[in-house]
Amino acid sequence: MLTNWRSLPISLSMLLCWLAGTSMAIASQPAPWCMAGNAAPSLLHRAEAALKQAPSPLPQIHTEGTLPHQGIFDQSVKAKQDWFRMRDLALAWRGTGDSRYLDGVARQLDAWTPVYQPSFNPIDETDLEALIDAYAITANQLPAATASQTRQLLRQLAEGYIWRIRTASQPLGATFKNNWNSHRIKLITLSALALQDASLQKTAGELFRQHLERNINAQGETLDYRERDALHYVTYDLEPLVRAAIAARQWQQDWLHDKAPSGGSLQLALNWLRPYAEGQLQHQEFVHSQVRFDFVRREAGLPGYAGNWQANTSRKLYALASRLSPDYDSTLLTGPQLPDWIQQCWPGGPDDTSSK
């Protein structure tokens, strides 16, 4: 006969309640942001340096459409280094348990989150992914006020970018179909996952699939390639989509292989670029670009805006892609050594748990 638990001795009934609550809590815990292992010496070196750097927050960042030394370009580049320092500190804490690094993350977030006002320019803000990483890795251990203020910023980012995509004028301008929108979707997806918001996650998936239809054709060519005649922008377009696909995997969605009605997919685009990235094919950059600023940057002497495309500039893209599939886990594509933060977070693609 079943025992009525309410009639059990108080200590035992309390124990059962505690166990039940613990089981529920464990069941509802989100998956780790990244499967962080031991921090690499190179990452720990940067984290130690980051502890000595005072935060330098700005209310806004702006580099898009400008050249070095114009406007706040230089100040923005310098300030954005804080975002990467946050991620280094978070991963160093995750890899060592040293509370100094956790305190460093909190100090940076406390400096930035009350000051920064999103511009919703995804080119200026794409590197906020590192801030989102830092928060998500440390969220459960951050001071309550720090976590709350950061969640407000992430929700503002996600909802603001969603609103801008959904209310964009029709017919859509290029920046709602090209790499700009890839960066929007990345920031929406990472924020949705960091917030563990199922509604935002659902919206992120819908917007990702809409973007596939508009951006990648059935041959795997991106709109950016057709606009800019440059593999530089193929890489820039696909990196944020791969990063978003890594996040979507945590809620059991396979964005790598998702196909748009027209037949385009992220996998097709990565495979289209692959022979260039492996050095089998070459491409003269920006020869037929339709964007005047590409020629302004070339005339200013910025590297990469003339001559042959340099295949090593796609290594970060394929390092990330190799976390989605071992098909891209090739030194021809990724180089001999993956960036330490990628290696620490995702030791291998879903079908390959071995280290590179």
Q: What angle do CA 301, 305, 309 make, to 5 degrees?
A: 130
Q: For residue 241, count CB atoms less than 10 angstroms from its CB and return exposed for 0-12, middle for 13-18, buried for 19 or more.
A: buried
Task: Report yes or no: 267 and 346 within 8 Å, Cβ to Cβ.
Answer: no
Q: Where are the domains of the chain?
A: 37-167, 173-351
Alpha-carbon Rg for the chain, nearest whole angstrom, is: 22
The DSSP annotation for 52-94 comes to TSPP---S----TT--TTSTTHHHHHHHHHHHHHHHHHHHHHH
Q: What angle do CA 318, 316, 308 make, to 5 degrees?
A: 90
CA distance 55 to 171: 42
Which residue intervals of the chain are DSSP H helices?
Answer: 10-28, 41-51, 73-96, 99-112, 122-125, 128-138, 144-166, 179-195, 198-215, 223-228, 231-248, 266-277, 292-299, 315-324, 331-334, 340-345
CA distance 73 to 152: 26
Task: Report yes or no: 32 and 54 within 8 Å, Cβ to Cβ.
Answer: no
- pTM (2 decimals)? 0.89
Please report how the helices 73-96 and 41-51 are oriented relative to each other, as an axis angle in degrees rounded to 10: 120
| Residue pLDDT tens, the chain, 356 long | 333 333 333 333 333 333 333 333 333 344 567 777 789 999 999 999 999 999 999 999 999 999 999 999 999 999 999 999 999 999 999 999 999 999 999 999 999 999 999 999 999 999 999 999 999 999 999 999 999 999 999 999 999 999 999 999 999 999 999 999 999 999 999 999 999 999 999 999 999 999 999 999 999 999 999 999 999 999 999 999 999 999 999 889 999 999 999 899 999 999 999 999 999 999 999 999 999 999 999 999 999 999 999 999 999 999 999 999 999 999 999 999 999 999 998 866 555 433 33
